[in-house]
Structure 1
Amino acid sequence: MTTTFFLVRHAAHDRVGTILCGRMAGVCLGSVGKVQAERLAHRFANENVTCICTSPLERAMETAQPIARRLGQPVQVCDAINEINFGRWTGASFKALNENPLWASWNRSRSTSRPPKGETMREAQGRIVGAMEQLRSLHAERSVILVSHSDVIKAALLYHLGMPIDAYGRLEIEPASISTLVVGEWGSKILRLNEVVAA
């Protein structure tokens, strides 16, 4: 028996690419992101989805809500698919971070680095993979949507591809993208990576 997972990165907010938002409160979708969320809802209209889980952060919940309305499904908040805890780096500009040697170490070797007072990417990987295993046991032969964050989705995909954490830079996960995989007792298979719904 298999379960299909749609790993959805939250839609765009106005600070994408400028601020490391991490787990900051109050980061909501911008006008572009709201349109992207509606496109995602349309994309999933004919899928056999039995469960929609979202990170507790506003931008993820705002992405999940139109999908849930379209499918007539409730949204379950799942702490296990929350953004990486970036600790003291939360809210810093990427311009400032690029001058920090610890930031360079983090991006050079995610397998051995930890943000100050934060968590490792391996710990984030353990969270999302564990959640997927629990959901797989509950939703056999069904589909599950997980609305999460770029690096957390990358961590899950790397695990299922059998690739090391340090290969995270080889994957592109855009805002409002969908990566689809099937997971069963036999293992897993990536069906689509970074699918972006066209206008």
Structure 2
Amino acid sequence: MLMLSSSREPPLTCFHLIRHGMHGEYGRLLSGRAGMSPLTARGRVQAAGVAAWRGLHAIDAIHASPRRRTVETASIIAQALGLEVVIAPDLDEVDFGSWNGRSFPELEQDPRWRDWNRSRSTSATPGGETMGGAVARTVRHLETVARENTGATILCVTHCDIIRGTIAHYLGLSLDNLLRFEVDPGSISTILLGSAGGSVTRLNEVPA
């Protein structure tokens, strides 16, 4: 990827946002902050695929949400790259409150769940956090790291909705548009941050 910038401006900080690999609850439960299932064999292959991705150049640090599935994904990548995993609480999954750990068929019977998926910008989770709050803490983490590590390349292992919300933020999209694009397990999305703001340069690339 070729990046051109003025010599008078500080270099951009690159963030590769990685969705964790598949785990035992994938597709069945809204794991949220309750999920404790390890990665499946497929999920471990997805993590290894990220580590071997040809676009992964000179990673300076690996940050991960504290959930088991993200830490395990990050650890597989870190071992291959000879790095340590830094746990970053601001990259944590959305706190879904009483929805954490519920099955999707059960959630579909709850009108609040349908409202949440129609209007992420205004709906709230029952006893958890708003989508806007989750995005705000993630953006805070990225922008703090960017200020303190100008020109670095940071790999962040986090969750589907966190990546969707962060991408929407930097594209200037309403959070109501989150379900209009996919973020697959083991995928890579890239954001460049600098003094002029952020730009999205990659979305949902799955290493071959």
TM-score bin (small chain): over 0.9
Asked if residue 34 in structure 1 is aligned to residue 44 in structure 2, the reply is yes
- Residue 128 of structure 2 aligns to which amino acid in structure 1? G
Shift of 1:190: 1.3
2:193 equivalent among 183, 186, 191: 183
- Residue 138 of structure 1 aligns to which amino acid in structure 2? E
Asked if residue 73 in structure 1 is aligned to residue 48 in structure 2, the reply is no
**For residues 155 and 45 of structure 1, do their structure 2 counterparts lie closer, same or farther at Cα, with a shift above 3 Å needed?**
closer
2:58 equivalent among 48, 57, 63: 48
Shift of 1:122: 0.3
- Separation in 1, partners of 2:35, 2:197: 36
Shift of 1:138: 2.0
3-state SS of paired residue (1:193): strand
Contact 1:50/1:139, CA 8 A, preserved across alignment: no
1:126 equivalent among 136, 139, 143: 136
Asked if residue 170 in structure 1 is aligned to residue 180 in structure 2, the reply is yes
Residue in 2 that maps onto 1:98: 108
Gaps of 5+ in 1: none
3-state SS of paired residue (1:43): coil
Shift of 1:72: 1.4
Shift of 1:45: 8.2
1:161 equivalent among 137, 161, 171: 171
TM value normalised by structure 1:
0.96
Residue in 1 that maps onto 2:6: none
Residue in 2 that maps onto 1:23: 33
Asked if residue 59 in structure 1 is aligned to residue 72 in structure 2, the reply is no
TM value normalised by structure 2:
0.92
- Separation in 2, partners of 1:90, 1:134: 29
2:150 equivalent among 140, 147, 160: 140
- Separation in 2, partners of 1:155, 1:139: 23
**For residues 95 and 46 of structure 1, do their structure 2 counterparts lie closer, same or farther at Cα, with a shift above 3 Å needed?**
closer
- Residue 106 of structure 1 aligns to which amino acid in structure 2? W
Shift of 1:14: 2.2
Shift of 1:180: 0.9
Gaps of 5+ in 2: 1-9
**After TM superposition, what 4+ stretches of structure 1 lie above 6 angstroms from structure 2?**
none
- Separation in 2, partners of 1:11, 1:37: 6
